[in-house]
Chains A and B, each alone.
Chain A
Amino acid sequence: MTTKKANAKRLAIYLLIVFAFSILLIILRKPISSSETFYFFIAELFCASPAVASLITRTVTKEGFRDMKLHLNLSRNFRWYLLAFALPLICFSASKLIPIIISGHSDWLSGFTFGNILAVILMLAAQSAVSSVSLLGEELGWRGYMNQKMEPLLGTVGTCLFGGVVWGLWHFPIDIANYLEGYGTLSNSLETAFGRLILLVCFGVFLMWLTKKTNSVFPAVVAHFMFNMSQTALMSLLSQGNIPENADLGMIASVFEYVTMILLAVGFMTLLLYERKKAPKTP
């Protein structure tokens, strides 16, 4: 079997397993809503499903467990770990704060004192060192396995786009959970899912670049953790300000929510293509 065929087969098995876990959340909707304990087990399984799927695929296809990118490579890549920590925080800060400042509502930012900002940064730094490891369940699958198999088949740009869409679709059961439970409308749920899809496609480019640059999934784990936590941290600072209950920045907020991530994606896609061009060609 050629390498391309073998990669396609491995990728297909991987995607089949990972989406089977994802669909479980929809199929088992009733027992999940009636039992917290059942929900706990299914949710844990769902979160770890990319890693589980990659391990099962490696076992089934007998390709072994090499190149799982589990080395920290910390000493050589410390600056990239710092980038993984800082960039999501900077991006989300820009996407939330710039619209507020542009619309002339700087008074809403009274929670952003030096002490509060320092506290948030230090807390995030500490948490990213010890709590981010829980995201290994995702990154071991997406960046540590799927991207590696996808890139020889679809190229770098194709992997970023299609890989991001796959990653976004995997979250789909979470996005429509509210609608299935009877809260909210289908259009709201689909809007959330589509918004997440755009953000994940864009952010996936950065994660792919990080993994390739450091040959480790751990910087991607830290960046993914910061992607999740930066938003919470910013919201906690915003909630300390004097924001009126019916505050609405309108279109500008929606635009900035995506603009920073799109710029990030374009920047790192360029870097990925440049580094690929620069890399020595293997026969």
Chain B
Amino acid sequence: MTGLVYKEWKQNYWFILSMLICGAFPLLFLLSEKNGISDPAHINDGRSLGLIIGFLLAGGIQTMVLKGDDRKLWGYWITSTSDGFKGFLRVKYEMIFGMVLLFLFSLQMFDELFCAIAADIGLTEVGDISNIGLPLIFFQLLLRAIDIPFTLRYGNKKGSLIKLIYSLVFAIILSAMVLTNFCNISVILFDAYEKLFTGDHLSLLFGVFAVSVLVIYYLSYRISCRVYLKGVEQYDH
């Protein structure tokens, strides 16, 4: 297993370390703009925009670590080793989880630094955005839990296309259900939305969502284990 960790590190250390830069984006975005920090009205817009850019960029980089291993020869070889393809996939999942954590750590650390700088120049009313970081991280984990099995089953290019088709079909079906109020779904969704933003339910709903995401991430690993060898058959075509 240590060998696989070493291989992933040697192959992807730039991607892994770039998570730190992605987390610094809200701060870098403000620093890059003239009067970015000194103008209080501008601060939250700049930070939010930097956060969104950093989040999207981090997500893109996290999927890039799957590139390069979608080769038939590699798939057969790793299956024949003592760790097997399950060990290989486990290290991949752990690495991507680690990258997501690194992004969160960086985001929170640079946000604290920003708040400290802001306090030193007299902007005491600036609050931290770390609270947004946590839901974002779970959303990112959910996206990766969906991405990885598709990429492993169909390869990089085909996987992205098939994922897009599935997402579109899902969005169309959901929209149709909402528009036709199938099984009273519009009312159920509206109630859930209302509850989400009332204080009592916020932490419970978020807790359920966050723990579900962790379970989904694990299930994604199990699904990947099931579909990996089928995917290997189709690589290099």
Contact = CB atoms under 8 A, between A and B. Distances in A.
Contact of A123 (B94, B104, B207): B207
Interface string B1-38: 11000000000000000000000000000000000000
A131 B113 contact: no
Contacts of A35: 120
Given A44-B109, A119-B204, A123-B203, A36 B211 contact: no
Interface string A68-81: 00011000000000
B214 A126 contact: yes
Contact of B116 (A39, A123, A131): A39
Interface in B114-150: 115-117, 119-120, 134, 137-138
A209 B109 CA distance: 31
A119 B117 contact: no
A39 B113 CA distance: 10
Contact of B211 (A37, A115, A120, A122): A122
B203 A37 contact: no
B208 interface: yes
A100 to B, nearest CB: 23
Interface residues of B, number: 28
Contacts of A125: 207, 210-211, 214
A129 interface: yes
B160 to A, nearest CB: 26
B209 to A, nearest CB: 8
A126 B104 contact: no
A119 B211 contact: no
A127 interface: yes
Interface in A200-251: none
Interface in B81-131: 94, 100-101, 104-105, 109, 112-113, 115-117, 119-120
Contact of B207 (A37, A72, A122, A130): A122
A123 B210 contact: yes
- What range describes how many residues of A lie at the interface? 20 to 34
Given A115-B204, A134-B105, A126 B210 contact: yes
Contact of A36 (B120, B200, B213): B120
A126 B139 CA distance: 12
Interface in A16-37: 35-37
Contacts of A40: 112-113, 116
A126 B101 CA distance: 12
Interface string A42-80: 001000000000000000000000000001100000000
Interface in A167-196: none
A130 B108 CA distance: 12
A174 B26 CA distance: 30
B94 A126 contact: no
Nearest to A43: B112
A130 B104 contact: yes
B21 to A, nearest CB: 17
A126 B200 CA distance: 18
B214 A129 contact: yes
Contacts of A131: 104, 134
Nearest to A115: B204
Given A37-B117, A125-B211, A130-B134, A118 B94 contact: no
**A72, A130, A131, A134 — most chain B CB neighbours (10 Å):** A130
19 contacts: A36-B116, A36-B120, A37-B113, A37-B117, A71-B2, A72-B94, A115-B204, A118-B204, A118-B207, A119-B204, A121-B207, A122-B208, A122-B210, A125-B210, A125-B211, A125-B214, A126-B210, A130-B134, A131-B104
Closest CB pairs A-B (n = 7): A122-B207, A126-B210, A119-B204, A36-B116, A40-B116, A36-B119, A119-B203
